[in-house]
Structure 1
Amino acid sequence: MTEPLQPPPKKNPLKRTRVPVSPPGTRSRAATGLSVMAAEGRFALQHCADCGRIQYPPRDLCRACLSEALEWRDTDPMGQLVAETAIRATPDTHFRDRLPIRIGTVLLDAGPSLICRLHGDVSGDDRVRVVNRIDAAGQAILLALPLKEVPHMQDDPALRTLSCDPRHRRVLITDARAPEAPALARALLKAGASRVFLGLPEAWKPFPARSELEDIGNCSIMPLDVTDFGSVRELAAEIGGKTDILINNARFIRPGGALARSDTIFARQELDTGCLGLMRLAQTFGRAMAARGEDGVNNAAAWMNILPIGALVPQPGHGMSSATGAAALAISHGMRADMRGSGVRVMNLYTGPMDDEWHQELPPPKVTPSALARAIVSALIAGQEEATAGEIARDLHARWRDDPALAIREALAK
């Protein structure tokens, strides 16, 4: 039975922080497809379009009919553990500090046999559920979980390593003025976060939610203006070494595209907040977090960027917001490459139209603050690098994944 995770003791400043070491990351092109599915939190395997045979491990040709028509499809994750063993010695520097490592063979109900990591509550000939997760090298890891929820399930060391669970971690939300800030702070604390920091731009200007945030326990409101490098650097110097999860929700939104505006004033503000603001955060907090990817129970674990779905599929009514989101997405991909191997996962959560004053002209469904908070916490617990919030974002993301050019043309035709 998994032992409950205990709050970490205060860190001894005389002890060296363990240096993050990346696990082996080389995969074939076919096997990288499994990592793409893991990034979205999907358990999907290759299915042959000609004979229907399910493939594992991933390959270029069907093992039954040699067809090249292999499609990634969501697959039944249920199966039976038929064998297990433990690795107790390895020359690999990443896994050497994590021994012993339990692995097993799972026979899926869908047919194939898989080699998986094993959750601590899985043993014998148990029925199991297989999940597909991302490791520190950005590659897929299959993990066999108990079929039913067990006490303290998320505290299992193997599962916690492959997730970004907020439990016992300190979280920075970059914009306390955002409509979702109170709901998000409460959701994170309910999920077990030890403290939530909230960055407040223009601290001199009052805002209605301040008293609500101050009434939430274990929350600290701190000055942070992502458009001012000095402000970002000051806060990073104060809490950069304490931040385990950073959620960048800072944004400046105004409806309209290039032809709807007579100048570039708002465009500059949107880019300065949503794009250059992300760069300022990366140049300060990013470095501090990357150095703490192996820092015990409350190690730096995740950097999440909240982006509009227009970053993938442009929305004509919010053309500049879509452009800013696309630029931020490109920076996020660069950060993911830079921080790969550090143990800090760079995540993108795409949201549909928010239920706020800047999307009032758009019809429902819209994303409420509480719905966005639930999506963020769920993505962190699942360790997803790519996630969505709201029905519109979910639909457009699925269309973009199937055919990006078609999804964009459909959006522009509306």
Structure 2
Amino acid sequence: MGYSILPSTDLAGLAGDIANSQAAILTGGTPVVRPPEPIVASWKRAQEAGLAAERHAPPVIGITELDRRRAVHPLTPIIGSLQRLFEDSVDDAQMMMGIFDAEGLLLWRGGSRRVLSLGESLTFVEGSQWDEPSTATTAISLVIEKPRPLRVFGAEHYSRPLHDWYCAAAPIHDPRTGDLLGIVDLSGPALSWQPSATMLANTIATIGEHELSRLHLGRLADLRSGAAPQLAAIRGPALVVDEAGWVADSRGVTAPRRVATPAEGDHQFVPGMGMCISEPVGEGWLIRPVGPVNPVRAELDLRGEPTLVVGGDEEWRTVLTRRHAQILLLLSRSGESGLTAAALSHHLFGDGEHLVTVRAEMSRLRRAVGALVASRPYRLAPGVSLTMAADSDESSLEVTDALTPVRDDLPEPPRRPRGGRHQRPA
């Protein structure tokens, strides 16, 4: 029932078999061949969502919004390198490349004029949206669902207007956090399928990740060099971090890889340093203690909106989502051994299949609470202790059993405004 696409494969014959099999699978019949399970699962989701197989009309944002998204996207500094790599590696006039963001928006594209013109007939244009709700089953939508290199050939696409095309895609991850940043997609007419397309897409994505890592390390080195005089003048522990909180240099303390995003005059806690203040230095920040170095004692207050309170010379607090509150409880109960992304997925969702969601939640949680949470595996940072305060009849958060999955339909708590001593980290 399964199949592979080899250089000797009869592409036209296989395309017909897949088209017949798609119709059979979606109507309860017996397929001639059976595509990979992620593709079949995507077909069924599209069918259940009421998407019409005859229709293909991805939404397209305006040029102003497209320019704004490009300007702030992490891949912008390396997009020229990726485009040149594609141009130097491909002499196929029937292959085009698209670079998408993590939500499936096409930010940049390249290829011959002929194939780009064909792509425009399918709305493969910059600013078009290619996630599953917009375009059903494509390599882009499948990589968003589970980030790994893959291809979609001919009628493996759910939408019939795409049956004459193939696409091969690979994820680009943030080398610092592992978060999905974007997707490389190579596409062309199905009968011109190149067996090396998936490998080439993955190679471009991997080189992109290396470029991002090189740029990041270079910026940290420049910041470290420029801030050396100020850091040398500090007595006691101190950190030099970039604008996003990544540590470039330190003295007198075992530095974490990253702290919460600094802001001038704001107080934040750093394990091993206690409550700290941030001062601009070059294109980053100098972080130093404003009080004695003590273990960090935090309390998760569940007697209203979930609120994390860190005691010390100056109390610091932030409102959390219900899911983030439950994750903190899970990490506290796990002790020094911590929890992997797969383990957290099992605790929160009842299975290990939500790794992308877990990593995204952990990224947001660490932005909210800074260096309270460590990673690899996820755990409370050394020196951090967490207690809980809750009403005896507390049930909306289901904190009496932190292994109970969090309900997705619970509303997000409102955010408190910045200012004074009650602040939310940037």
**Taking structure 1 as the reference length, what is the TM-score of the superposition?**
0.27
Q: Which has the higher contact order (CA 8 A, sep 6+)?
A: 1
